Structures are given as structure tokens and as C-alpha cells.
């Protein structure tokens, strides 16, 4: 991994074998970033995508392996009620399965880079966005007041 700050934005290169979310959280820890948004592209070897099922209050998980073109990743990093960093990310991948082009997308749990991923990380300016637990969904949402 390598990164560079230019004005208020960090440009992060995630290298082969690195997990994307862990890398972004590492950059935030090193730089003292409590909340940020990010976008990017890349080439990955694996991904774990989730879809939330409201009727059961659980996530359905799909694991992808192989040559995965990361068409888009977008998300945010927030401070939780306890202050620890958390994330919420969605991703879209293209790949071939049995020679047929496919797409898969959803909530990104994890993704390992095959070649590289190029991520733009933009810290929140003028405050911190925190995550607040929502008992109805069992997940967290932005708390813009805390």
C-alpha cells in the first residue's frame, strides 16, 4: 500500500494481496481521520458481498473468486458510538463465469486485491460523522448530531 495526500484528499494505492477496507482503515488510523468518504476502482481476486434481507433482519452473503474487475467501490468511514472506526461500502464487480460475462454488487464486507486498487479518500472537514445503532434494523446509521 502506498498513499499520498494532495490538498484535502488522500490517494491510496492498494497492492496485490491487500484487503481494501483494512487498508483504508489503516490509512485513517495513521492519519487521525475519524470520518471520510471514498471511491475507487481496481482488479481483485476475491470479494464478499452482502444483501440485507429486511424480512429476516439478516444479510445474505455471496463470495466471489477469480479475476474480478472492481468497476466501482463507494463508501464511508465513521466513528461508532464507542469511537472505534467503522465503514459502510458498496461495490460492483464484473467477471466471467463459465465464459459468460456477469456482474455482482452489494454491501462490501471484504475484497482482496489481485493487481491494484486505486482509491480516493476524502476526510470529512469541520466535524466528525458518527454511527448510531438502530435497533429496528440491527445496523447503524449516520448520527449527524453527535
CA 66 – CA 79 distance, rounded (Å):
33
* Phi, psi dihedral angles at 35 (to 5 degrees): -150, 145
DSSP string across 13-76 = EEETT-BHHHHHHHHHHHHT--SEEEEEEEEEEEEEEEEEETTTTEEEEEEEEEEEEEEEEEEE
Residue 117: what are its φ and ψ, rounded to 5°? -135, 140
Number of domains in the chain: 1
pLDDT in tens, the chain (146 residues): 999 999 999 999 999 999 999 999 999 999 999 999 999 999 999 999 999 888 887 889 999 999 999 999 999 999 876 667 889 999 999 999 999 999 999 999 999 999 999 999 999 999 889 888 778 777 778 888 75
What CATH number is associated with residue 49? 3.30.1330.80
State the CB neighbour count (10 A cutoff) for residue 42.
23
Domain extent at residue 66: 2-143
Give dist(CA 139, CA 54) in Å, integer. 11
What's the whole-model pTM score?
A: 0.92
Amino acid at each position: 500500500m502506498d498513499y499520498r495526500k494532495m490538498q484535502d484528499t488522500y490517494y491510496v494505492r492498494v497492492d496485490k494481496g491487500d484487503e481494501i477496507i483494512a487498508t483504508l482503515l489503516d490509512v485513517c488510523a495513521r492519519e487521525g481521520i475519524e470520518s471520510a468518504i471514498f471511491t475507487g476502482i481496481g482488479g481483485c481476486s476475491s470479494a464478499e458481498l452482502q444483501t440485507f434481507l429486511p424480512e429476516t433482519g439478516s444479510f445474505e452473503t455471496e463470495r466471489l473468486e477469480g479475476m474480478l474487475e472492481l468497476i466501482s467501490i463507494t463508501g464511508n468511514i465513521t466513528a461508532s458510538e464507542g469511537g472505534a472506526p467503522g465503514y459502510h461500502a458498496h461495490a460492483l464487480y464484473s467477471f466471467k463465469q463459465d465464459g459468460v460475462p456477469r456482474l455482482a454488487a452489494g454491501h462490501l464486507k471484504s475484497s482482496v486485491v489481485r493487481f491494484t486498487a486505486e482509491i480516493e479518500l476524502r476526510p470529512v472537514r469541520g466535524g466528525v460523522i458518527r454511527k448510531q445503532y438502530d435497533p429496528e434494523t440491527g445496523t447503524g446509521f449516520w448520527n449527524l448530531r453527535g
